[in-house]
Amino acid sequence: MSEKTRFGHVGLIGRPNVGKSTLLNAMVGEHLAIVTHKPQTTRHRILGLVSEPRGQVAFIDTPGLHRRRDHALNRRLNRIASDTRVGVDLLVLVIDATRWTDEDELAMSQACSFDGPVILAFNKIDLLDKRDALLAKTAELSQRHDFAAVVYLSASKRNGIKDLLDEVFARLPQGEPLYDPDLFTDRSERFLAAELIREQLMLQLHQEIPYGVGVVIESFEREQRRIVINALIVVAEDRHKGMVIGRQGQVLKRVGSRARHAVAELLGQPVHLALHVKTRSGWIDDDASLDELGYAR
């Protein structure tokens, strides 16, 4: 790459469910971060790389900032979310163009106190039939903070992605890429596999159950023509175990088959996936279990 390339870390912030992970995936071009219609899907800091001739952006997707502080996992998630601002060159504040809530205020105040440029990104504009409200909201928020740029996106339809990338690149410092341009994340294949299994569990389970589910990869072996994965699903209450398994094992079977496809597609190889379920009572409020399951403190 030439001397004029740019490099920087860029944090994606916003309340749960605004589409941060969808946006990360759209920019990186891989199903890297898991996405569901439920708030609080993302539980980790996930780095996604965009490498181009003009430079490299390391995007950081984190859990959405939320108000619940009722157990140790939730407190950890908010800490990861708050730390997104540390060490980044630029922030993208993602909001849902159709809805503004108290939790958006939290994210807005984080953006306002950031000591660097912030790009305001209205997402989900495909759901709007009229643009008037969008312009009014843009004017209102621009009065509260001097945003470096404002973009209008549909992450799920991949509209506006190039505009956002142009705005980001234009504001990054000059520098050489820090990460190998062939990589799209710094996360391991094991981690990505565990997340894709958790994505299917979140999609297939209802009410509060998905929030008490964790996934641990017990073994991950590359054979000549396939990857063999054994994964353990941990539930926080014994009565949830039956719900994860389902009648005649139907739920677990569906989770396994969909996750297997997703992992095979991401890793580019056929996958054999075996799932087991175990109860670990109250793990979401137990620091030792959270450490063991890989949740950052």
Ligand X SMILES: Nc1nc2c(ncn2[C@@H]2O[C@H](COP(=O)(O)OP(=O)(O)OP(=O)(O)O)[C@@H](O)[C@H]2O)c(=O)[nH]1
Residues that bind Mg ion (CB under 5 A): 20-21, 41-42
156 binds, among ligand X, Mg ion, none (CB under 5 to 8 A by kind): ligand X
Q: Which one of the spans 30-38, 140-148, 175-183, 273-281 is the region binding ligand X (CB under 6 A)?
A: 30-38
Spatial separation of the C-alpha atoms in residues 202 and 145, rounded to whole Å: 36
3-state secondary structure (DSSP) of residue 25: helix
CB of 41 to ligand X, least distance (A): 4
Spatial separation of the C-alpha atoms in residues 155 and 184, rounded to whole Å: 18
Which DSSP state fits 7? E
φ and ψ at 274, to 5 degrees? -115, 130
For residue 36, state whether it binds ligand X (rule: CB under 6 A). Answer: yes
Spatial separation of the C-alpha atoms in residues 267 and 264, rounded to whole Å: 5
Single residue of 4, 37, 130, 206 touching ligand X by CB under 6 A: 37
Q: Which one of the spans 2-10, 32-40, 141-149, 235-243 is the region binding ligand X (CB under 6 A)?
A: 32-40
For residue 200, state whether it binds ligand X (rule: CB under 6 A). Answer: no
Spatial separation of the C-alpha atoms in residues 282 and 212, rounded to whole Å: 8
Q: Which one of the spans 38-46, 49-57, 112-120, 248-256 is the region binding ligand X (CB under 6 A)?
A: 38-46
CB 15 within 8 A of CB 101: yes
Q: Fill in the per-residue mask, 133 to 172: x = in contact with ligand X (CB under 6 A), - = not in contact.
A: ---------------------xxx----------------
Q: Which two tokens stand for residue 8?
A: 């920087």
Nearest residue (CB) to Mg ion, 6 versus 43: 43
Spatial separation of the C-alpha atoms in residues 12 and 26, rounded to whole Å: 13
- Site residues (vs ligand X, CB under 6 A): 14, 16-22, 35-37, 39-42, 63-64, 123-124, 126-127, 154-156
